[in-house]
Amino acid sequence: MTDTLADSRTSSREFIEGVPVVVEDVPRRPAAERNEVLADPGFGRYFTDSMFIARYRAGEGWYDARLTGYAPLQVDPATAALHYAQSIFEGLKAYVQPDGSVATFRPEANAARFVRGAKRLAMPPVPEEAFIAAVDALVDAERDWVPTGPDQTLYLRPYQLASEPFLGVRPANEYLFLAIASPAGAYFSRGVHPVTVYLSEEYIRAAPGGTGDIKSAGNYAASLLAQEEAIAAGCDQVVWLDAVEKRYVEEMGTNNLFFVLGEGDDAELVTPELTGTLLAGITRDSLITVARELGYRVTERKFSVEEWRRGVTDGTVTETFGCGTAAVITPVGEVKARTGGFVIGDGGPGPLTMRLREHLLDVQHGRVPDTHGWLHRVG
Ligand SMILES: *Cc1c(COP(=O)(O)O)cnc(C)c1O
């Protein structure tokens, strides 16, 4: 990382007390180039002109916080994170509001989860206010990269990794905290399509006492083979079962799951309870609140494959959907498994799935009042 202190300035923003966010003059792509990307950004393919980076050293704490040009990192080949995956990440989005301002959605919940993740991996946590300050500084600097098309967003990826060059297996003494930003198109740009899922009866995602409840990099490496198998079986996503009995449904890929029991105003939502092996999604939490406000009963409990299969067959389970920051809500149309598959409802997106999806998108994009203070204005 080259320091260009000559053409940098110290903003009024602080990362943590006594550590200002230094704002460098970074090369910016011309508007025409940017607009070309924003016309069809896809997901996770393009990155904005700048990034946030701060460093940590044991005994010194966090230091050298700056907004700098988006560029490759130069790391030592012995960098601990590359060997032992002492590394966590977050995912949240910035949304253009109807008045032209920009807001992130519940960033304090991401900040709190990031602290929990750091502690679990024996890393020094980034204080919650510092996490939010970093994300705010990045969004503010990249205001022009927040796309304005229907349901388009700027996806934000804060992450922390052990940067100490040392091959001993112990918590590192040096860390990097970064945040990068990537414009994201509407997830379902050609209408909402249900996914077909594959029950993973061989591989597991998370075990009791493990790291399933945090966004640690290693979890995702361990999930890829099962996801590849799901695709080979003609499915879009893998569904994870509990590691001990392989009986209860836990998650779908990197989404939490909801099941709709019954229909109409009397419909009940069931979502697997947070046993410690599930990731506590912020979308999941928001949907529990929103659904209750709309008058639906929501229950957090264990939900077995057997109950799912039987319910779909006898008509008591009418809808199933996954939820997460990236796609908000994804309907599940069909389940495939070695033990026999089934089609949910008529295989199309269910009415409650679509109602909740529209409602949460409306909140995030500021189209309905934000009654919970979930939107965090930036700039
Ligand atoms: C990120 C993630 C989710 C969804 O969390 P959100 O906060 O709603 O984005 C669910 N499951 C897993 C495994 C995840 O990594």
Express each pLDDT in 80-119 by its tens digit.
999 999 999 999 999 999 999 999 999 999 999 999 999 9
Whether 4 has a pLDDT exceeding 50, the answer reads: no
CA distances from 324 to 25, 206, 230, 231 (A): 35, 18, 19, 20
Is there a domain that residue 371 lies in? no
As a whole number, mean pLDDT of residues 321-330 equals: 96
Residue 209 CB neighbours (<10 A): 8
pLDDT digits (tens, 9 = 90+) for 42-60: 999 999 999 999 999 999 9
User: Separation of 241 CA from ligand 1 center, angstroms?
Assistant: 16
Per-residue pLDDT tens digits for 14-36: 999 999 999 999 999 999 999 99
Q: Where does ligand 1 bind, in terms of residues with CB under 6 Å?
A: 91, 215, 251, 254-256, 279, 281-284, 324-325
Banded pLDDT at 10 (limits 50, 70, 90)? low
Residues 207 and 178 in one domain: no
Residue 83 lies in a domain: yes
Distance in angstroms (rounded) separating the CA atoms of residues 250 and 238: 11
214 and 296 share one domain: yes
Within a domain: 166: yes
Tokens of 280: 């506590």
Please say if the pLDDT value at position 316 is more than 90.
yes
Measured distance CA(377)–CA(254) in Å, rounded: 27
Classify the phi-psi angles of 373: left when phi > 0, otherwise alpha if psi is within -120 to 50, otherwise beta: left
Measured CA to CA, the distance from residue 193 to residue 347 in angstroms comes to: 10
Q: What is the mean pLDDT of residues 114-127?
A: 98
Ligand 1 centre distance from Cα of residue 254 (Å): 5
**Across 226-231, average pLDDT:** 96
Please tell me the residue having the least CA distance from ligand 1 atom 12: 254
| Ligand 1 atom closest to the CA of 283, numbered from 1 | 8
**CA dist list (Å): 183 to 36, 127, 142, 363:** 12, 26, 10, 20
Please tell me whether residues 215 and 139 are part of one structural domain.
no
Mutate to test the pocket of ligand 1, among 214, 255, 356, 360 (most ligand atoms within 8 A of CB): 255
Is 369 inside a domain boundary? no
- Closest atom, ligand 1, to C-alpha of 110: 7
Of ligand 1's listed atoms, the one at least distance from the Cα of 325 is 9
Which among 158, 184, 210 is the end of a domain?
184
Domain identity same for 180 and 199: no
Look at residue 333 and tell me if it is in a domain: yes
Which of 184, 206, 232 represents a domain boundary (last residue)?
Answer: 184
166 shares its domain with 225: no
Whether residues 255 and 109 fall in one domain: no
pLDDT score at 187: 82
Instruction: Give the structural domain span for 150.
Output: 8-184
CA–CA separation, 168 and 172 (whole Å): 9
Q: Within this chain, do residues 58 and 135 fall inside the same structural domain, yes or no? A: yes
Q: What is the Å distance from ligand 1's center to 20 Cα?
A: 31
- Residue 1 pLDDT: 44
Counting ligand 1 atoms within 8 A of each CB, the residue from 254, 288, 361 with the most, and so the one to mutate, is 254
pLDDT at residue 234 tops 50: yes
Cα 28 to averaged position of ligand 1 atoms, centre (Å): 32
Considering the domain architecture, whether residues 219 and 179 belong to the same structural domain is answered as: no
- The total domain count for the chain is 2
Report if residue 370 sits inside a domain.
no
- Picking from 69, 45, 40, the residue whose alpha carbon sits closest to that of residue 147 is 40
Q: Is the same domain home to 124 and 242?
A: no
| Same domain flag for 235 and 276 | yes
> Does residue 252 sit in the same domain as residue 316?
yes
Predicted pLDDT of residue 8: 67
Q: What is the whole-number distance in angstroms between the Cα of residue 48 and the centre of ligand 1?
A: 23
Q: Which CATH number covers residue 53?
A: 3.30.470.10
The 10s digit of each residue's pLDDT in 61-81 is 999 999 999 999 999 999 999
Closest ligand 1 atom, CA of 253? Answer: 13
Say if residue 128's pLDDT is above 50: yes
Q: How far is the CA of 218 from the centre of ligand 1 (A)?
A: 15
| Domain end (from 162, 184, 206) | 184
User: Do 225 and 154 have their domain in common?
Assistant: no
Q: Which of 73, 220, 52 has its CA nearest to residue 131?
A: 52
Distance 253 CA to ligand 1 centre (A): 9
In a domain, 318, yes or no: yes
Angle separating helix axes 128-141 and 107-120, nearest 10 degrees: 130
Q: 6 pLDDT exceeds 50?
A: no
Helix (H, G, I), strand (E, B) or coil at 97: coil
Q: Which of 256, 275, 282, 374 to mutate to test the pocket of ligand 1 (most atoms within 8 A of CB)?
A: 256
pLDDT tens track for 168-201: 999 999 999 999 999 999 888 778 899 999 999 9
What confidence category does residue 2 fall into, taking pLDDT thresholds of 50, 70 and 90?
A: very low
Q: What is the CATH number of the domain that holds 310?
A: 3.20.10.10
| 7: confidence class by pLDDT, cuts 50, 70, 90 | low
When pLDDT is averaged across residues 350-375 and rounded to a whole number, the result is: 97
In a domain, 29, yes or no: yes
Ligand 1: distance of its center to the CA of 77 in Å? 30
Q: Tell me if residue 220 falls in helix, strand or coil.
A: helix
pLDDT of amino acid 186: 85
Of ligand 1's atoms, which has the minimum distance to the CA of residue 251? 11
Q: How far apart are CA 279 and CA 251, in angstroms?
A: 8
| Closest CA to ligand 1's atom 2 | 254
Average pLDDT taken over every residue of the chain: 95
